[in-house]
């Protein structure tokens, strides 16, 4: 019998409906209550522990660190085959990627959630949880890094995104696809990451802000971020990674002040790359000290930059890490 530890943090998957308002109260169920409602797979010894009981808009840096430390403590037990974390869907992709960057273990760590509460018609809560437990117990899932299991699909934490606000098929990896599926009690892994990167950090993450650019934008949000003490900024530009010329001076000043700036694209697919020569273009920003964020979306770039800064990396090594 395989031993799997289920750590719950709240979210829709652990929600109850308020009888007075008819609205969901996310995180109202404990892990034990949630597990008791689910028909778990035979052959898996599930140990349940509630870590947090919160909606995912309340997840923050302190909770990320606490969750990572808890998983590391669980994995100190060599009898544990894998770990499942239940989480609200709104920030699930960020938590999953943070764990992927900071947990150095071959055993599977699965993050899952649901788009519908356990009491809702057509809920996906129980099938997602059951599939995640099956995946966490599978030998096929070793060396895949942290993954997200949703709607019978297995996604790499690096590429998964919430792509729909309410549909049960709410997660995807645009341009990359899923790495496997759960078919009944069978786990089928079709591909694994070629490279894994993990970093040692302490109990602190520096502030990294995301600044999205739009037609006619200037540098006021860059200035505000620097003034508030951010150690890094993620610049979400147009297309290949361009920003309006009116924002360039503020970005250059931020870099000169020691703020690490990483350029991403607001496009759904594709990568930041030098292709044009004009003020605010990628080559212009790179010349001013901005790091090119390749195909990272802004949310994942923010998590990675914060982790690299927490690990003590300097600007040149951070640039290589994003390459």
pLDDT (0 to 100) of residue 41: 66
Q: Is pTM, for the whole model, over 0.85?
A: yes
* 29 in any annotated domain: yes
pLDDT (0 to 100) of residue 33: 84
Buried b (16+ CB within 10 A) or exposed e, 76-111: eeeebbbbbbbbbbbbbbbbbbbbbbbbebebbbbb
Residue 140: domain span: 2-189
Active site residue 12: yes
pLDDT (0 to 100) of residue 29: 84
- In the set 8, 12, 102, 144, the catalytic residue is 12
233 and 169 fall within a common domain: no
Of 189, 223, 245, the position where a domain reaches its end is: 189
Residue 87: which CATH number?
A: 3.40.50.1170
SS3 content of the chain, % helix, strand, coil (to 5): 30, 25, 45
* 198 in any annotated domain: no
Cα 199 from Cα 166, distance rounded (Å): 34
Please list the ranges in the chain whose pLDDT falls under 70: 41
Of 189, 222, 241, the position where a domain reaches its end is: 189
154 and 302 fall within a common domain: no
> How many structural domains comprise the chain?
2
pLDDT (0 to 100) of residue 27: 79
171 and 275 fall within a common domain: no
44 and 169 fall within a common domain: yes
pLDDT (0 to 100) of residue 30: 85
pLDDT (0 to 100) of residue 31: 82
22 and 149 fall within a common domain: yes
73 and 134 fall within a common domain: yes
* 195 in any annotated domain: no
């Amino acid at each position: 019998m395989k031993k799997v530890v289920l750590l719950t943090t709240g979210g829709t998957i652990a929600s109850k409906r308020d009888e007075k308002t008819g609205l969901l109260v996310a995180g109202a169920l404990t892990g034990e209550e949630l597990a008791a409602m689910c028909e778990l797979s035979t052959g898996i010894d599930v140990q349940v522990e509630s870590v947090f009981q919160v909606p995912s808009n309340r997840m923050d840096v302190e909770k990320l660190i606490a969750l990572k430390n808890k998983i590391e403590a669980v994995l100190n037990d060599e009898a544990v085959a894998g770990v499942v974390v239940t989480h609200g869907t709104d920030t699930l992709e960020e938590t999953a990627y943070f764990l992927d960057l900071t947990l150095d273990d071959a055993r599977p760590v699965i993050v899952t959630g649901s788009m519908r509460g356990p009491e809702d018609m057509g809920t996906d809560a129980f099938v997602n949880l059951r599939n995640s437990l099956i995946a966490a117990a599978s030998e096929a899932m070793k060396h895949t890094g942290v993954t997200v299991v949703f709607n019978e699909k297995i996604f790499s934490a690096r590429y998964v995104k919430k792509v729909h606000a309410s549909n049960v098929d709410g997660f995807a990896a645009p341009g990359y696809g899923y790495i496997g599926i759960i078919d009944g009690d069978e786990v089928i892994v079709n591909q694994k990451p070629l490279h894994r990167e993990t970093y040692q950090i302490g109990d602190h993450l520096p502030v990294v802000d995301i600044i999205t650019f739009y037609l006619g934008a200037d540098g006021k949000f860059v200035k505000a971020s620097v003034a508030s003490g951010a150690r890094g900024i993620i610049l979400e530009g147009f297309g290949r990674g361009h920003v309006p010329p009116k924002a360039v001076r503020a970005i250059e000043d931020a870099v000169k002040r020691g703020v690490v700036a990483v350029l991403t694209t607001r496009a759904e697919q594709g990568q930041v790359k030098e292709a044009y020569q004009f003020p605010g273009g990628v080559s212009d920003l790179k010349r001013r000290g901005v790091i090119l964020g390749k195909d990272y979306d802004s949310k994942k770039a923010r998590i990675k930059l914060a982790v690299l800064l927490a690990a003590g990396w300097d600007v040149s090594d951070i640039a290589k890490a994003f390459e």
